Amino acid sequence: MPTEVILPKVDMDMATGQISRWFAEEGATVKKGDLLFEIETDKAAMEIDAPASGVLRDVTGKEGVDIAVGSAVAWIYAEDETYGAGAKQNGTPISPLVGEMSAKPTRGGAVPLASRPLTLPSALPGISPTRGEIGQSASGGRATPLARRLAREAGLTLSAISGTGPHGRVVKADIDAAIAKGGAKQAPAVATEAPVPASAPPVKAMSDEQVLKLFEQGSYELVPHDNMRKTIARRLVEAKTTIPHFYLTLDCELDALLALRTQLNAAAPVKKTEKGEAPVYKLSVNDMVIKAMAMALKAVPDANASWTESAMVKHKHADVGVAVSIPGGLITPIIRHADDKTLSVISNEMKDLASRARSRKLKPEEYQGGTTAVSNLGMFGIKDFAAVINPPHATILAVGAGEQRAVVRNGEIKIATVMSVTLSTDHRAVDGALGAELLVAFKKLIENPMGMLV
């Protein structure tokens, strides 16, 4: 039986992906493990291997088009197998379904995923590779996970929608078309069901058509969203609608930290490079902010937590994510165990992560997880701002610019370099007093930076 080639899930938040390049064409003979195609996620490019040996047929996955995770993009027939004969029974594949194909990082992109083929009885619906979900919806239509979610949110009945995807599968485009036509609504509830308490209808954003009507035709151009921008938008909406944010702001004097930074950089040993001698490290203010935040979390361990519905996750180490701006969006590489690392190690690791983030060469484990985050806009002269929490974190520190301000000491006005910081906190995990305790611990380390060296 032919082997189904699917678009694998290679990222925790991945719902769709795009094939950026096929390395084999229709009718080509491939061997198991051969490079088959490259997919582009919101954070990296990944090379996907062939899950079986044979002849590549029915290549339906087009380059540059959004494809739902788990969708079939091609089939591989054994060389002695008749093309098209007995490939399906009742519209359901009975060949081995490869749920997680091995993936090789493109130029340092990501971690290989385990390969686990599953053989499906013909009488059963196909199983999606995403969390083992059943590809047959409760309302009777075979659909992708994304299409099922969109249909459920829109109140549509999948069995009333004709699928245009591979093997008649309902895909996102079919749901969008059904919504536009206003059809395929859910059947009315059975009279014996318990009444559902009335609730306020969800607030819907303006449709594309409503937005465009506000502007004169020809006065704009449309730039389609890439996967990164879609993921950023989805996660920000999720964060602001599901996490009860609250904010704490205070000022930190930087003069002692700036003086120590100058001393440490001047004392840095040098090494020989292709461009001549260079210091082994060069500390930035942000490197010291990362270290101070990590040590503050160790000093206030109750704030080093993540919220789940069943329990509070108390972390044993401070893994600090750092927001890095990259073309088309941002990503948050993580300094693991930042509380245990020296400033020079943090500085060099951060430079390496930021460089590879901008070229989209980070591995998933280098940007997934973490226990808190730091976002610094001080280099743009921003005085203060409030950042959006990145789940599963319970806190994020927004860092503003250091600037000279007038301060009062012992009844006298003095000039000091002051930096404003704002801590955004998930109120479910970190209460007001606990957040204040964390921020005070951070301020103490910034204003007494020698504490970060011992």
Alpha carbons 414 and 435: distance in angstroms, whole number = 29
Alpha carbons 416 and 407: distance in angstroms, whole number = 7
Q: With CA atoms as reference, report the closest residue to 359 among 324, 335, 390.
A: 324
SS3 of residue 253 by DSSP = strand
- Render 211-251 in DSSP notation, one character per residue: HHTTS-TTS-------HHHHHHHHHHHHHHHHS-EEEEEEE
What is the identity of the amino acid at 287?
D
- In sequence order, the β-bridge partners of residue 322 are 374
- Render 438-449 in DSSP notation, one character per residue: HHHHHHHHHHSG
- Phi and psi, residue 422, nearest 5°: -125, 125
Is residue 426 within 8 Å of 394, Cβ to Cβ? yes
Whether 427 is a known active-site residue: answer yes
Q: With CA atoms as reference, report the closest residue to 149 among 115, 111, 176, 189.
A: 176
Cα 300–chain centre separation: 27
Alpha carbons 344 and 416: distance in angstroms, whole number = 26
Alpha helices, DSSP H only, in 51-156? 145-154
Which one is catalytic: 245, 317, 337, 427?
427
Q: Helix, strand, coil shares of the chain as percentages rounded to 5?
A: 25, 30, 45
Cα 349–chain centre separation: 21
Q: With CA atoms as reference, report the closest residue to 2 among 76, 56, 73, 55.
A: 76
SS3 of residue 327 by DSSP = coil
- Phi and psi, residue 278, nearest 5°: -145, 150
Alpha carbons 142 and 97: distance in angstroms, whole number = 16
Active site residues: 427
